[in-house]
Amino acid sequence: MFAVKGILKLSYKLLVNDKAKFLALLVGIAFAVFLMMFITSMFYGVLAHSSATVINVGAPVWVMDPSVETPANTIGMPDHVLDAVRSMPEVKYAVPLYSGAALVKLPDGTYQSAMVIGLDDSSLVGRPELIEGNIDNIYAENGFIAVDDVDFPKLGNPHIGSELELNDHRCVIVGIAKVSTSTLFGLPTLYTTYQRAIQYIPNPRYTISYVLVQPKSPHDIDEIKRQVHALGYVALTKNEFIRRTVSYYVYHTGVGMNMLIMTVISFIVGLSISGQTFYTFILENLERFGALKAIGTKGRDLIAMILFQAAFTSLAGYGLGIGLCTALIGFAKLKIPEYFGMITYVNLILPFVMVLIITVVSSYFGVRRVLRIEPFEIFRG
């Protein structure tokens, strides 16, 4: 036990003795971890906000046109789809939902695009949580509810009683709501009734964007999907719709490929800088390792020393990189409300795996070089 402690203590002193090399190792790993985590945090933030409508409305099953790939890409469905879904024995209830964009004229005369969500008039399924006002006031003449999120100031920070103009129609704010996720494209959100939404916003012949379904039991979902498919449409659970949206942005836009390339680059940078610096450190300390070998230090003890040095440096660099990235994301969210960076378990684990690979590769070449050294070569001179 004491011998192990002595070996590790000696290994630590050898590592930090050359402060320049030790700092270079820390900076290389920290920079790679910082870059990878920063990129993946932006990626996950974008993916989370891309499904804002699905998350905020929260319906368990969504019926839509098969061509719909994201909540923002709505395709109208005829009224008979709603009637057919309501008639299914497995359905507890089904309601229409309107989702579309509109041009809002603010009191100062400027224009702002906004997302308008039209809720079923009778049930208001999918309504947001109000922080001001009464939900019943949505039935008042020209009544709209504004969502207080990061895009709320784009509407001029309206209050209850504020008047806007939506496609030449009077729009009165009767409530202020909060939601868990803001929209991806920086559009403020307004809620109103379904009939008012299709009346105020020009639409094609079919106006039902989605049919929200509450099944009688989770076991009925598969049968509902089968019957909806027979109608020529598709039914997805909330999580399936979110995954479909994520898949679209990852595989059918440049977002996924660009993030992948930048993540690979950050990994290569960290591996090359840290690996080369650590191997140089081993070469510069060959005489010390050779002297230890000459006085009887076993090969496994030398391996333990190198593994300890690589692991200590990698974990210290990992912690430093995580801390810097977390601080920067927190600062960015304070100064830039629209910033979408999101720290998850995945983008904490991914840099850690990268650090483990750097540790293994660096240790392998270091151990290989040290074990091949012969003690007599050290004392030849």
Same domain, yes or no, for 96 and 205?
A: yes
Q: Look at residue 134 and tell me if it is in a domain.
A: yes
Same domain, yes or no, for 219 and 355?
A: no
Q: What total of structural domains would you count in the chain?
A: 2
Taking residues 96-107, report their average pLDDT.
Answer: 92
The CA distances from residue 170 to 107, 149, 153, in Å, are 11, 23, 20
Q: For residue 3, what pLDDT band results from cuts at 50, 70 and 90?
A: low
Q: Look at residue 313 and tell me if it is in a domain.
A: yes
Q: What is the pLDDT of residue 379?
A: 57
- Listed in sequence order, the residues at least 6 apart from 32 whose beta carbon sits closer than 8 Å to its beta carbon are 266, 267, 269, 270, 271, 273, 274, 317, 321, 351, 354, 358
Give the 3-state secondary structure percentages of the chain, helix then strand then coil, rounded to 5. 55, 20, 25
Q: Which of these three, 179, 199, 232, is where a domain ends? A: 232
Contact between 183 and 189 under an 8 Å Cβ cutoff? The reply is yes
Same domain, yes or no, for 207 and 322?
A: no
CA distance 289 to 305: 10
- Listed in sequence order, the residues at least 6 apart from 199 whose beta carbon sits closer than 8 Å to its beta carbon are 169
Lowest-pLDDT choice from 43-52, 145-154, 330-339? 330-339
Residue 177: which domain range? 78-232
Same domain, yes or no, for 374 and 338?
A: yes
Q: Look at residue 242 and tell me if it is in a domain.
A: no
For residue 1, pLDDT over 50 is answered with no
Same domain, yes or no, for 226 and 351?
A: no
Lowest-pLDDT choice from 142-156, 216-230, 365-379? 365-379
Tokens of 239: 């999580």
Q: Look at residue 141 and tell me if it is in a domain.
A: yes
State pTM to two decimals.
0.77
For residue 375, pLDDT over 70 is answered with no
Contact between 125 and 60 under an 8 Å Cβ cutoff? The reply is no
For residue 147, pLDDT over 80 is answered with yes
Q: Look at residue 70 and tell me if it is in a domain.
A: no
Q: Look at residue 297 and tell me if it is in a domain.
A: yes
